[in-house]
């Protein structure tokens, strides 16, 4: 009987472990000020951020934020400055302690770690990339990249080998003996990325990593990150204030406003169903063709009347392809798109009508006429 109980308990534990996401943030509050604990009940009752600032002089950084990030996905946290996104990411490796709430990484309660355990946790579990790069100006590129390993106590030879590999993987070979200030912004951030990857962490925290870069280099870096991610399959938490960036990189996006989590969803969900005015204002100017995938806009194969179309005009695309890529084909040749999955099975169809519905903000209404 006892044995059975134990086994059940173990199973339960195991179940808990697998049921839990890679990173789980539960009801985290963060209040900045002299006595945050006294203000906490007020925040919990749902008082306004501005009121609290006026009455108590405390700033609410995070207000009941809960997120969960699955293993191997890129979670983008988006919001304007002051929305608490940088505060949130610093809770994950406890650079900031929450006023209330729990943070679990791999089922470990980060809040319960003592100083020594926290150091071990930071050494191996996750590493961070910073907005203004956070490179050590007194160390060369290779020393910077090897820093995490240095902290782990690896010998110089070993860490130089690993650092060199990482430097090559971000395409900076030949610069390893330069100092950070001798490099351009884009190169510096690639050093930052290489440094974060050098310890081979399971989780990568990127705090507005590309925000300080100019648009061309930013897009370049995004591409590089996507390529790295397809190879490495890390769990990435990415902070940005740029919607295009978040749509491009994120598997899931969480939108923060004034410390509150407004909406969480896939890029398509955010675009198609913005939760409130704030999100809608964000989404308004997005180029939908670049964000929506064929999968999202198609009509399922069983609901589509195939008799109308001529086979000659049918054009096959993969379900993961963005609208942008087949949009000209549909408009110019009036062809029908057949959406297939990776195995080649037909999943659905797209005609110019579906495109029109998905691309406009208000949607397409057959009865409305343009005067």
- Write out the residues near other proteins by the rule CB under 8 A: 35, 90, 93, 95, 118-124, 126-128, 130-138, 147-148, 150-152, 178-179, 181-184, 199, 205
Q: How far is the CB of 141 from other proteins (least distance, A)?
A: 12
**Interior CA angle at 23 toward 22 and 29, to 5°?**
165
* 77 vs 207: CA distance, rounded Å: 9
Beta strands in 248-363 (DSSP E): 252-257, 260-265, 299-300, 314-318, 336-340, 346-350
Distances (CA, A) of 58 to 52, 82, 340: 6, 14, 54
Of 90 and 248, nearer to other proteins (C-beta) is: 90
Q: How far is the CB of 229 from other proteins (least distance, A)?
A: 20
Of 96 and 299, nearer to other proteins (C-beta) is: 96
Q: How far is the CB of 137 from other proteins (least distance, A)?
A: 6
Q: How far is the CB of 89 from other proteins (least distance, A)?
A: 10
**Token pair of 336, please?**
């029908």
Of 118 and 275, nearer to other proteins (C-beta) is: 118
Of 152 and 351, nearer to other proteins (C-beta) is: 152
**Token pair of 150, please?**
């240095």
The strand pair at 108-109 and 126-129 is best described as unpaired
Of 80 and 119, nearer to other proteins (C-beta) is: 119
Instruction: Find out whether 61 and 259 touch, Cβ atoms under 8 Å.
Output: yes
Residues 6+ apart with CB under 8 A from 15: none
Of 181 and 367, nearer to other proteins (C-beta) is: 181
Q: How far is the CB of 145 from other proteins (least distance, A)?
A: 11
Of 137 and 344, nearer to other proteins (C-beta) is: 137
Q: How far is the CB of 200 from other proteins (least distance, A)?
A: 13
Of 137 and 328, nearer to other proteins (C-beta) is: 137
* 354 vs 367: CA distance, rounded Å: 16
**Sheet containing 235-240: which strands, arranged edge to edge?**
126-129, 203-207, 235-240, 74-78, 252-257, 260-265
End-to-end CA distance of the chain: 79
**Token pair of 21, please?**
């996401």
Q: Scanning the structure block, which residue is given the tokens 């009455």?
A: 55
The strand pair at 235-240 and 74-78 is best described as parallel
Of 43 and 135, nearer to other proteins (C-beta) is: 135
Neighbouring CB atoms inside 10 A of 181's CB total 8
Instruction: Find out whether 37 and 99 touch, Cβ atoms under 8 Å.
Output: yes
Q: How far is the CB of 95 from other proteins (least distance, A)?
A: 6
Q: How far is the CB of 55 from other proteins (least distance, A)?
A: 18
Q: How far is the CB of 198 from other proteins (least distance, A)?
A: 10
Phi, psi of 260, deg, nearest 5: -105, 145
């Amino acid at each position: 009987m006892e044995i059975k109980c134990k086994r059940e308990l173990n199973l339960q534990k195991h179940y808990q472990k697998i049921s839990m996401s890679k990173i789980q943030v539960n009801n985290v509050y963060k209040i900045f000020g002299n006595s945050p604990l006294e203000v906490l009940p007020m925040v919990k009752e749902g008082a306004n951020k501005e009121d609290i600032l006026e009455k108590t002089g405390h700033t609410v950084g995070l207000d009941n934020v809960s997120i969960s990030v699955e293993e191997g996905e890129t979670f983008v946290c988006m919001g304007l400055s002051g929305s608490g996104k940088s505060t949130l990411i610093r809770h994950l490796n406890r650079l900031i302690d929450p006023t209330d709430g729990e943070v679990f990484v791999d089922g470990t309660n980060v809040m319960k770690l003592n100083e020594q355990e926290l150091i071990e946790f930071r050494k191996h579990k996750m590493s961070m990339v910073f907005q203004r790069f956070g490179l050590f100006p007194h160390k060369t590129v290779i020393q910077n990249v090897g820093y995490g390993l240095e902290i782990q106590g690896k010998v110089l030879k070993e860490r130089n080998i690993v650092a060199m590999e990482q430097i090559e993987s971000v395409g900076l070979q030949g610069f390893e003996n330069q100092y950070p200030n001798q490099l351009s912004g884009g190169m510096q951030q690639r050093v930052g990325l290489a440094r974060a990857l050098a310890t081979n962490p399971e989780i990568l925290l990127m705090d507005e990593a590309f925000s300080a870069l100019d648009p061309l280099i930013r897009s370049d870096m995004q591409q590089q990150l996507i390529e790295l991610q397809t190879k490495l399959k890390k769990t990435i938490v990415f902070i940005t204030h740029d919607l295009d960036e978040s749509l491009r990189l994120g598997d899931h996006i969480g939108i923060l406003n004034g410390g509150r989590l407004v909406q969480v969803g896939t890029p398509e969900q955010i675009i198609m169903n913005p939760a409130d005015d704030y999100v809608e204002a964000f989404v308004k100017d997005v180029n939908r063709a670049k964000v929506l995938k064929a999968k999202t806009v198609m009509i399922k194969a069983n609901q589509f009347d195939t008799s109308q179309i001529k086979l000659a005009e049918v054009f096959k695309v993969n379900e993961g392809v963005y609208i942008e890529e087949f949009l000209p084909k549909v408009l110019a040749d009036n062809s029908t798109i057949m959406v297939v999955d990776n195995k080649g099975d037909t999943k659905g169809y797209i005609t110019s009508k579906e495109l029109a519905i998905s691309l406009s903000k208000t949607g397409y209404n057959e009865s409305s006429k343009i005067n």
